[in-house]
Amino acid sequence: MIESINSYCKIGIVHPMLYPATIKGEGPVYETIKGIVCDEYFDAIEITRVVGDDVIVKVANLIKIAKVTPFFAAQPVLLTQGLNINDLDEEKRLIALDNVKKAIDVAEKLGCKGVGFLSGKYEEATKEDSYQALLKSTKSLCAYAKEKDMSIVLEIFDYDIDKKSLIGPTKLAKKFAEDIKKECSNFGLMVDLSHIPMYYESVRDALEPIKEHLVHAHIGNTVIKGSDCEAYGDMHPYFGFPNSENDVEEVKEFLEVLLDIGYLNKNTRPFLSFEVKPWGDDDVDAVLINAKRVLNRAWQLVDKK
């Protein structure tokens, strides 16, 4: 069966990762977003902070005209400021929470219906306290977003390599989603192919248990063979990067499992976004075409039954 992957999902890209100079909402934000939304390969785009009301209006209009679906990435809002949404210092937790709520306000202006975030660092001795703090923060975010008819999406990260986030392995992510959804219907989980090797799970083991909570997916790469390797950690280098974990075969497996669990489907066409970043002097256009070609080839190889 030869059918476009676009029939099963909205192909997107994490804008501030591809263009790191824009990660704080400054620099060539409009120009680089324009380049993505005017590329017919993409049906979606993930953006973060945009500084300046006039720029927000221009970007929102650009997205609307281009007919792409926007999603707001609040992960950079937390990471670039060293904020922890499950901080055990209540004052610091509230500062992090306030920053994400402000991000939700910007997301609404940009036309986004979903906002992604991540859990923060934790200590093993106080892990349960951190979990409760994360529950408290997430419920507050869900309530705030619900007033704007928006969803809140927690991205699963590594817990002991780079970001060292509380959530964390799939088992804990599943428990967290179940706990939150007892009160909040506008919550879901996000997986990233680049993170799965960092929490030591197979693709199926990382996806199958959370299939009913999975609402967003990223495709990326990582290097974890050794801390002395170039681009070690959560750096999202191009596919096939030296000593890296993911290339065509791994993307193929990811797509096959996403199809098998019903995530990729013709009815809802959920997000499937590249998260790739130039490493060193890598040319951004070459990194982008690398991602497209890898996905195209992986999809050709998928057993669609």
Please write the tens of the pLDDT for every residue from 59-101. Answer: 999 999 999 999 999 999 999 999 999 999 999 999 999 999 9
Q: What is the pLDDT of residue 83?
A: 98
Q: Domain residue spans in the chain?
A: 5-301
- Kindly state the tokens that stand for 278: 């130039």
- Return the closest-CA partner of residue 13 out of 35, 61, 211: 35
Predicted confidence (pLDDT) per residue in 157-168, tens digit: 999 999 999 999
Q: What is the pLDDT of residue 2?
A: 61
- Return the closest-CA partner of residue 197 out of 171, 221, 178, 228: 221
Residue 303 binned pLDDT confidence (cut-offs 50, 70, 90): confident
Q: What is the pTM of this model?
A: 0.97
Asked whether residue 181 carries a pLDDT value surpassing 70, the answer given is yes
Q: Which CATH superfamily is domain 5-301 in?
A: Divalent-metal-dependent TIM barrel enzymes (3.20.20.150)
Task: Taking residues 208-218, report their average pLDDT.
Answer: 98
- Kindly state the tokens that stand for 32: 């680089």
- Return the closest-CA partner of residue 271 out of 8, 52, 11, 3: 11
- Return the closest-CA partner of residue 288 out of 18, 31, 41: 18
For all residues of the chain together, what is the average pLDDT?
A: 97
Residue 1 binned pLDDT confidence (cut-offs 50, 70, 90): very low
Rounded Cα gap, residues 31 and 19, in angstroms: 11
Q: How many percent of the chain have pLDDT more than 90?
A: 98
Of the CA atoms within 13 Å of residue 102, those in its CB half-sphere come to 11
* DSSP bridge partners of 34: none
Rounded Cα gap, residues 195 and 203, in angstroms: 10
Q: What is the pLDDT of residue 305?
A: 63
- Kindly state the tokens that stand for 86: 């499950």
Asked whether residue 47 carries a pLDDT value surpassing 80, the answer given is yes
